[in-house]
Amino acid sequence: MRQYRFLTCDVFTDTAFGGNPLAVLPDAAGLDDRLMQAIAAEFNLSETIFVLPPADPAHTAAVRIFTPATELPFAGHPTVGCALVLAALAGEGGAEALVLEEKAGAVPVALARDAATGRPLATFTAPRLPVLSTEGLPPAPVLAAVLGLEAGEVLTRLPLAPAVCSAGVPFCIVPVEPQAIGRIRLNPALWEAHLQAGPAPHLYAVALDDPQRPQSVRARMFAPAMGIAEDPATGAGATALAAWLDRLMPAVADDTVTLPVVQGVEMGRPSTMHLAFDRRAGTLAAVRLGGTAVMVSEGTLAVPD
């Protein structure tokens, strides 16, 4: 048996047993794809992240990210959680910035302190700008039925309308009435019939506090294709959402939009992701997402030779 150290943390929260749990293997050298997938299935968390030596020595580490069912090219809560775990392991005087090599590209992460709580804060810049499309999108009444809602509870008037958005992982962004988001109940049979084989099988339902000038977003994410019935916090989804919000709030000059994305409330694991995106000359130029984490456990995993 080979021994591998692991740590778990709850990400996008400052309270233990809130947020989105993550398993981190800080030294995963020697594990192949099959074992990484098996370990992720064993932890059975939304994601498990494996830390490896970087291809570029100027970077901090290479990482591999697995859900219980598949590998992801990029994910937000593993990026934030891994950066905070590595910073904690480095101790005082560690780096103020990291670069993690993910399959979607190199992801820079800034480390600081949360102004409200004083907890360590990690903020990454997305390796790809999110893009928006409506190709292959099921009709809004179908999306409503998949979510267990009435047809009129999915918003359809542009720019408040469903779209496919991706910053490496495609999500079907579905805007719903605020009073409906807590009543969503995914219909697995309808999901399989209408979304499983489509361009964006992962559903990211969102509700705005103000559709004209939103100051915050409520979200829920459902990804049966990843082996995730519902996710407490989806950084890749919130990053992709920037493209949809950019369409909603067009800019004609340089600006930066910042707002919290709150997820996981209905699961009893409330999470807050701090989303920011820059526009330059009215065009989306950069997307950042940040949050805090709470260390929960550590131990040793015995892996068969």
Active-site amino acid positions: 47
Give the C-alpha separation, 188 to 52, whole Å.
36
Give the C-alpha separation, 1 to 185, whole Å.
43
Give the C-alpha separation, 59 to 61, whole Å.
6
| CB within 8 Å of 294: residues ≥ 6 apart | 9, 10, 13, 14, 15, 16, 18, 19
SS3 232: coil
Q: Which two tokens stand for residue 106?
A: 């190199």
b (16+ CB within 10 A) / e for 2-41: eebebbbbbbbbbeeebbbbbbbbbebeebeeebbbebbe
β-pairing, 271-280 with 255-263?
A: antiparallel
Q: Which two tokens stand for residue 296?
A: 């929960």
How many alpha carbons lie under 13 Å from residue 244 in its C-beta half-sphere? 30
Cβ atoms of 285 and 298 within 8 Å: the answer is no
